[in-house]
Amino acid sequence: MSKIFELFGYPLSDTSQEADSCRREARCPFMGSDCDGGGNRHLSNIKLENKEEMQSYFEGRKFVPSGVCSLISEKGKPWIVCPRRLFFLGKPGVRERQHQDIVQNFIMHYSGFPSGTQVGIWPELKLKYSESIDGITKSFDYTFDYIVMPVGYVSAEDVEAATKEKWIKLRRNLELSGYLVKDDGVEDFPIGAPLIIEIMTSSTSGGNKDKRTTIPMAFEDAILRGIHQAPSINYRQVWARMVSQLIVKSEVGLGWGGKTLWILQDTLVDYISTSTALNIHHFLTNYTDEVNIVSFSYGSNITFKLGVIELSDGKLFAGRIAPPEINPEPSFQDMIRSPSRPSIHKLYRLLAKRRPSNKVMI
């Protein structure tokens, strides 16, 4: 099992007025606004009806998100479970935030955009379509955490060329979407190649309601009493979710003439390196490639218990998706291979401890 390390951006051990105020307002310091539970954790919202103590703590609210940013395992390492805590880029005026500047500056350094480029940010952009290839219907259905692209004034002719649609049809859609449209073009329209940013954080097990180890129950106990038990960290589910998208989204970024950056915590990098045939640490570099992973760490900051802890120690790991045909070398395709190959003797030893459950004649 584990315990909550950070609630609403502050270490649970921080009992300062600043931290308490942030918690009572259910505010996310990384977003600079109300906590949204991480964007996709609505099931962890707690209804405050018939919960007098919680109503007293969160005055004026009918429900509150379980604002758990991170958990700390028995081994003493925090694991981030909320993507907002690792990196957030989806709010207007993002540069006015008070946190995550170290992370943002490091990521933008490897974006490929020249210094001074004005970029637009499209969070949680879903792209779904299908087409027939060799008589088989192939479908693409993915949501990108962030699409970042340079923006500027684009002529109607160039917008038509980029979208392969007629201006007469596009103009109305652009206006409805909030773009500033002129007779001969549109302001703040995307230009050039995109940067895809994907945030991958840890998952948790479901927890046990009888033992009050679900996220909502752990959150409630931590807020009201401090003493609590949180669910375990589901390391394998994180890896499985990531590996199913890593190559696809990296290929898409390359196909669009841009690149994809995966943002991870250092503990997840370590876990992938020990549980697959890929040792990500061997891909440490200063240059982006076909697959790009950027990791950040709490570092020694974990020893300071007051205030929001800034992540630091950014590292870039990059390499090829698949090995070259000539002189094969390690690649990110190794992530789907076994970390080791047990001998058949280990299988026999295991079978010797358990009789077959049944026998059939074939």
pLDDT digits (tens, 9 = 90+) for 243-265: 878 888 999 999 999 999 999 99
CB atoms within 10 A of CB 180: 12
CA distance readout (Å), 81 to 59, 86, 99, 199, 274: 26, 9, 18, 11, 20
Chain segment 323-348, per-residue pLDDT in tens:
877 777 888 887 776 667 777 788 77
With tokens 């989806």, the residue in question is 90
**Neighbouring-strand partners of residue 155:** 185
Model pLDDT, residue 110: 95
Model pLDDT, residue 250: 93
Among residues 196, 215, 208, 206, which one has the least CA distance to residue 37? 215
Burial of 1 (0-12, 13-18, 19+ CB in 10 A): middle
CA distance 320 to 318: 7
> In which residue ranges of the chain is pLDDT below 70?
39-43, 91-97, 301, 303-305, 337-339
CA distance readout (Å), 214 to 55, 229, 321: 20, 8, 37
- pTM for this model (two decimals): 0.90
Task: Tell me the two tokens of residue 56.
Answer: 């007293």
Contact 221, 207 (CB under 8 A): no
Helix (H) or strand (E) holding 181, with range, is: strand 181-182
Max CA pair span of the chain: 80
Helix (H) or strand (E) holding 33, with range, is: strand 33-34
Domain boundaries, the chain: 3-89+201-336, 113-197
Among residues 68, 77, 75, 45, which one has the least CA distance to residue 218? 68
Among residues 116, 145, 140, 113, which one has the least CA distance to residue 129? 140
Model pLDDT, residue 94: 46
CA distance 200 to 294: 11
Model pLDDT, residue 108: 93
Residues 6+ apart with CB under 8 A from 32: 91, 96, 97, 98
Model pLDDT, residue 360: 81
Model pLDDT, residue 187: 92
Query: Which letter, b or e, does each residue of 65-82 get, where b requires 16 or more Cβ atoms within 10 Å of its Cβ?
Result: bbbbbbbbbeeebbbbbb
**Neighbouring-strand partners of residue 182:** 185
CA distance 199 to 295: 10
CA distance 102 to 83: 16
**Cα 319 → chain centroid:** 20
CA distance 314 to 288: 14
